[in-house]
Amino acid sequence: MGVFSRISDIVNSNINAILDKAQEPEKIIRMIIQEMEDTLVEVRSSAVKTIAEQKHLERRIASLIQDQEEWQAKAELALSKEREDLAKAALQVKTRLGQEIATLRQRHEQVEADLVKQSDDVAVLQQKLADAKAREATLIARHKTASNRLKIRASLYDERVTDAFARFEQVEKSLDMLEGKAEVYDIGRGKGAIQELHDLEADHQIDQELAALKAKMGKTE
């Protein structure tokens, strides 16, 4: 299981679905980023321990190799002194050291593989973290815009707004009635200025037509 097991549900989940259920999306986004940052710290801390183990193994292997060389030299010395028994014992120690070295080298290979995996995990997590931070402001802005639009649209169907429009229309009708009552009093009280102008224009046109008709018939006053 990789280092992302603890946050896989968050990272791999549908961010929009999370925001739909969240009353405070800013906190959700911040939580995701904080989770990534905490995991990144843990991965780096683990990598530090792996590097320390790698160096320890390298020093231990180098020390055992040196011990091997020393026991080889002791075996040669014992054999030169015709102490075959001591030479054999020295070679036995050298063999045991060789076995320990082989075991440590296997562990060293595993540690190196772990370190490569941890380095890859750090790179991937860093990229995900950078992407999340880059999208943080955009996601928050989009959510606020969508929420505001939803509130505005919902207000259009609010009963209070409907009642307000109804009252507004009632006021207009009342004003129409009031204006109508005022105009009633002017009926039959003489012509207004506009009506007199219309009558004057009509009389002028009739006079012009009468003059033209007289001219046609050769009659003059």
Residue type (1 letter), 137: A
| pLDDT one-digit tens code per residue, 162-180 | 666 667 677 677 767 766 6
The SS3 assignment for 79 reads helix
Q: Kindly report the number of other CB atoms within 10 A of residue 97's CB atom.
A: 20
Structure tokens at 154: 């919902």
| Residue-averaged pLDDT of the chain | 77
| pLDDT one-digit tens code per residue, 11-26 | 555 555 555 555 566 7
> How confident is the model at residue 1, as a pLDDT?
44
- Tell if the pTM clears 0.85, that is, is over it: no
| Strand spans (E) along 43-121 | none
Task: Report the candidate in 17, 15, 23 with the shortest Cα–Cα distance to residue 144.
Answer: 23
Task: Report the candidate in 67, 52, 56, 55 with the shortest Cα–Cα distance to residue 99.
Answer: 67
Q: To 5 degrees, how large is the angle CA 95–CA 100–CA 103?
A: 130
> How confident is the model at residue 87, as a pLDDT?
93
8 A C-beta contact, residue 139 and residue 19: yes
Higher pLDDT, 107 or 9: 107
Q: Where are the alpha helices (DSSP H) in the chain?
A: 8-11, 15-21, 25-80, 84-156, 159-184, 193-217
> How confident is the model at residue 131, as a pLDDT?
81
> How confident is the model at residue 60, as a pLDDT?
95
Q: Kindly report the number of other CB atoms within 10 A of residue 89's CB atom.
A: 15
User: Across residues 55-80, what is the average pLDDT?
Assistant: 94
